[in-house]
């Protein structure tokens, strides 16, 4: 995200609150939310082979350099770009407090939530991102997007400071998840042939943002998507899921693998910048969120980014045994390019490839 709060980060057209649509009429799905046939979450698109579930990594062993966990991490990043971590040292109280804080925000009246609505030329606030035209099909979610770190880059007008405990809960979770991200970067740096601070140095001033998602139930979940197919624009993403509702899916060989929640685990995925740094060795996988007919679902996605002026290009150690696959791009230019478009799979990172490869 930009260091300058007013720098012009693309803009998203205001859209109706899905939560309010469901409150007013829970049986009908407005046409604007009905996805084209090829984008709908049909049952036959799910992945039913013997491929293992999303890899589970013991974070407490990983940070000690355990070879088995490092190998698991390497496999997960090469094959799927997704994994879950357990024993991550983020206290259960911190997780429950941030979940409760986000739930309280979405329990506010629409009039109250609208006080934090996105404004033109800003990506922070309440609403939806990546809506660039009135004709565009919409996702079945509402969200609150905040820059969380460094503190001086926050825009507090989007923070519901009148909501008891919200700021404290988000700050505590932000600090703890940042520690997790930095430890993961250290392990990835070693796997990529650098010293453990290699990726941290490439970031410069690390930046963090948070997307708090609310997916209302949908009477016809086979017609909509909670969040469209996409890959993430930054370095790493850490997702705190609802404890018992599966909604996140990862694309693998043209099929979809559901990411089944493990209580108090964290889901981690590789994002576009790390794919470029690894010269394509690690995958920024396409993923999406689906809905269900019976129960609302929430998730909190925390994104890590390099500083705006950071140069994104494959690191030398990842080009020794494979040709260079991506051109250089400045972080600020890449992010702006992405934020000015609708979600469209991996179109953004594919534009950085030097040539088409099978």
Task: Provide the CATH number for the domain around residue 180.
Answer: 2.60.120.330
**Are 25 and 218 contacting, i.e. CB atoms less than 8 angstroms apart?**
no
What letters, b where the CB count within 10 A reaches 16 and e where it falls short, cover 308-327? bebebbbbeebeeeeeebbe
Q: Determine, yes or no, domain membership for 230.
A: yes
- The residue segments making up the domain with residue 316 are 18-351
| Pick from 263, 249, 259: nearest CA to 87 | 263
**Are 323 and 280 contacting, i.e. CB atoms less than 8 angstroms apart?**
no
**Are 306 and 273 contacting, i.e. CB atoms less than 8 angstroms apart?**
yes
Number of structural domains the chain divides into = 1
Q: Determine, yes or no, domain membership for 357.
A: no
| Pick from 181, 178, 154: nearest CA to 274 | 181
Q: Determine, yes or no, domain membership for 1.
A: no
Give the model confidence (pLDDT) of 256-284 as tens digits. Answer: 899 999 998 999 999 999 999 999 999 99
- CA pair distance 263, 242, nearest whole angstrom: 8
ω into residue 150 within 30 of 0, thus cis? yes
Written as one string, the DSSP assignment of 100-158 is HHHHHHHHS-HHHHGGGB--TT---EEE-SS---TTSPPPS-EEEEEEEESGGG--GGG
Q: Determine, yes or no, domain membership for 155.
A: yes
Which 8-state DSSP code applies to residue 272? H
Q: Determine, yes or no, domain membership for 4.
A: no
Q: Determine, yes or no, domain membership for 311.
A: yes
Q: What is the pLDDT of residue 217?
A: 97
Q: What is the pLDDT of residue 351?
A: 85
Q: What is the pLDDT of residue 336?
A: 81
- CA pair distance 299, 98, nearest whole angstrom: 10
**Are 304 and 324 contacting, i.e. CB atoms less than 8 angstroms apart?**
no
Q: Determine, yes or no, domain membership for 313.
A: yes
Q: Determine, yes or no, domain membership for 312.
A: yes
Q: What is the pLDDT of residue 52?
A: 59
Pairing of strands 297-305, 236-241: antiparallel
Reading the block at residue 1, the tokens are: 């995200």
What does pTM read for this prediction? Answer: 0.94
From the CA atom positions of the chain, what is the Rg in Å?
19
Pairing of strands 287-289, 248-252: antiparallel
Which residues in the chain land under pLDDT 70?
A: 1-12, 43-52, 340-342, 356-358
């Amino acid at each position: 995200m930009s260091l300058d709060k007013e720098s012009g980060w693309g803009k998203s057209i205001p859209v109706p609150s899905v939560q309010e649509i469901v409150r007013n009429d829970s049986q009908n799905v407005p046409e604007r939310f009905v996805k084209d046939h090829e984008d709908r979450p049909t049952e036959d698109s799910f992945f039913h082979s013997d491929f293992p579930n999303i890899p589970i990594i013991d974070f407490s062993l990983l940070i000690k350099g355990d070879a088995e966990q490092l190998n698991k991490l390497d496999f997960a990043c090469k094959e799927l770009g997704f994994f879950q971590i357990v024993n991550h040292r983020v206290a259960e109280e911190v997780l429950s407090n941030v979940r409760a804080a986000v739930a309280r925000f979405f329990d506010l009246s629409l009039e109250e939530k609208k006080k934090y609505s996105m404004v033109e030329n800003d990506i922070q606030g309440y609403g939806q991102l990546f809506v660039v035209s009135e004709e565009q099909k919409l996702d079945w979610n509402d969200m609150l997007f905040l820059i969380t770190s460094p503190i001086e880059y926050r825009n507090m007008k989007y923070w519901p400071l009148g909501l008891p405990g919200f700021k404290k809960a988000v700050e505590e979770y932000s600090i703890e998840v940042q520690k997790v991200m930095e430890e993961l970067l250290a392990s990835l740096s070693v796997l990529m042939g650098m010293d453990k601070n290699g990726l941290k140095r490439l970031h410069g001033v690390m930046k963090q943002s948070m997307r708090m998602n609310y997916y209302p139930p949908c009477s016809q979940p086979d017609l909509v998507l909670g969040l469209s197919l996409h890959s993430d624009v930054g370095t790493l993403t850490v997702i705190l899921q609802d404890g018992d509702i599966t909604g996140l899916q990862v694309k693998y060989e043209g099929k979809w693998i559901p990411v089944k929640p493990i209580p108090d685990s964290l889901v981690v995925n590789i994002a576009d910048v790390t794919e470029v740094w690894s010269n394509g060795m690690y995958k920024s996988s396409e993923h999406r969120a689906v809905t269900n007919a019976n129960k609302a679902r929430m998730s909190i996605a925390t994104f890590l980014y390099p500083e705006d002026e950071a140069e994104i290009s494959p690191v030398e150690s990842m080009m020794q045994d494979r040709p260079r696959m991506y051109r250089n791009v400045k972080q600020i230019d890449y992010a702006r390019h992405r934020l000015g478009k609708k979600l469209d799979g991996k179109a953004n990172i594919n534009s950085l490839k030097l040539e088409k490869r099978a």
